[in-house]
Amino acid sequence: MSQVERDIQQVKDVTLLRRMADVLDVDLGELMALPQPAAARVSSRPRRGASDTLTSTSVAEEDDMRRRQVMTVATAALFAQSVGPQSAHAGSAPLAELEDLLLYGTSRALPSTHPTHQTVASSLKASRQEFRTARYDVLARALPTRIATAQAVGTVEESAGAVAQLYNLAVRLCIKIGDNNLVAITADRALTAARLSGDPLIIAEAQRMVSSAWRRQERFARATDIVVVAAEELLADSGVPEADRLATRGDLYATAAYTAAKSGDRAYAHSLIDEAADSAAAAGRTSGQDDGVAGVALHWLSVHYELGDAGRAIALARTIDPAALPTPERRARFFTDVARAFDRWGKPESCFKALLAAEKAAPQEIQRGVVRDLASGLLRHDRTLGGVRAFAGRAGARFD
């Protein structure tokens, strides 16, 4: 408590905040609702100046209630600084309920009505749609109950298949929100359930999520190997329709290419993305759809950026029609990658325009850490970029 009061210890997670609220004997919601009172925190004690003397007796006689009020305000201020302004949009801990599910099991998330196969099918459809339309707050609140429901319906294999698909979405949600610890846990849950389901396509997607978890721990070689092996195993499985095998193989190789690019392996990244493009094109010829081709193009954009080829990334971006991208999430991701490339290329105005386009496509996408970092960097151009401070505030960037 003393360390928090003296700005030595920062309150950076909800668990610690709850403990502080218990000690302070205040409601957690009341604590979070307090403003960020930097001035109040400064003025809560007399300042020590050249002519001031503050005896140990006067400190000891501080009113207990006043101290608790001061501590409450200080805790609220420190916590608000640590999560940033995005808490106004996404809540203080958007994944808290998912975290509870992972730690304590399904009992807290069980549905109030008797679930059916139709309930599970509808929840899967809704979850996919919420992710595609970048309604991450809605998805975060709904996933725990949907996972608990899926665990309670059908045979072991049926239940596991639905649970794995929901956990695959949970991994992607955790990546969007930036919680690396939950990325690793949810990816493990996804792969465990997927293997129990026995469905090769669900297993392959779960392996892709595990690869993402390893990549975020900077284990690039392992992350690349996971998806390359998965892609070749899937391609050899004649029990899966050819179009599905090719499309999923394209996704796996695109993920591998991005990881290789992050490790700086230019030749391998180019080789892998070429394989991804070939698979996506073949899948399109088989199915008559070209969604996978567009997905690979977005990964090509990321590969160019990660390899430091900002100019090539922008040249590629100019060949992509964002209106033709199938979902708001993809459009926002496209504009964010374009913004990153313009930032690296030293073109702040173009970077800002791309970020505004990303926000228009999917407002919650700008809560991602990469956007906050870009917005923070653009603040130095505040005088020439009208509206950049307001955007940075919406993105949750810190103002020094």
- String of DSSP letters for 306-325: HTT-HHHHHHHHTT--GGGS
Mean pLDDT score, 156-166: 97
pLDDT exceeds 70 at position 248: yes
pLDDT at 323: 92
CB contact at 8 A, 109 and 101: yes
CB contact at 8 A, 123 and 142: yes
pLDDT at 17: 61
Domain residue limits, the chain:
2-83, 90-217
How many CB atoms are closer than 10 A to CB 364? 23
CA distances for 230 relative to 212, 225, 240, 292, 305, angstroms: 13, 8, 14, 18, 25
Q: Is 264 helix (H, G, I), strand (E, B) or coil?
A: coil
Binning pLDDT at 50, 70 and 90, where does residue 234 land?
Answer: very high
pLDDT at 54: 36
pLDDT at 3: 58
pLDDT at 285: 83
Mean pLDDT score, 2-31: 58
Binning pLDDT at 50, 70 and 90, where does residue 39 land?
Answer: very low
CA distances for 10 relative to 6, 14, 17, 104, angstroms: 10, 12, 10, 26
Mean pLDDT for the chain? 82
pLDDT at 289: 64
Name the residue with tokens 């090719």: 246
Range in 32-46, 94-108, 222-236, 321-335 the model is least confident about: 32-46
Q: Which of 212, 204, 145 is nearest to 176 (CA)?
A: 212
pLDDT at 180: 86
CB-based contacts of 123: which residues, under 8 Å, 6+ apart? 142, 146, 149, 150, 166
CB contact at 8 A, 191 and 168: no
Name the residue with tokens 């990658």: 337
CB contact at 8 A, 174 and 213: no
pLDDT exceeds 70 at position 51: no
pLDDT at 294: 84
Q: How many residues does the chain have?
A: 400
Binning pLDDT at 50, 70 and 90, where does residue 10 land?
Answer: low
pLDDT exceeds 80 at position 38: no
pLDDT exceeds 90 at position 43: no
Q: Which of 23-27, 166-170, 388-392 has the highest mean pLDDT?
A: 166-170
Mean pLDDT score, 137-148: 94
**Using one digit for the tens of pLDDT, what is the confidence trace for 304-344?**
999 999 999 999 999 999 999 999 999 999 999 999 999 99
In the chain, what percentage of residues exceed pLDDT 70? 74
Mean pLDDT score, 150-177: 96
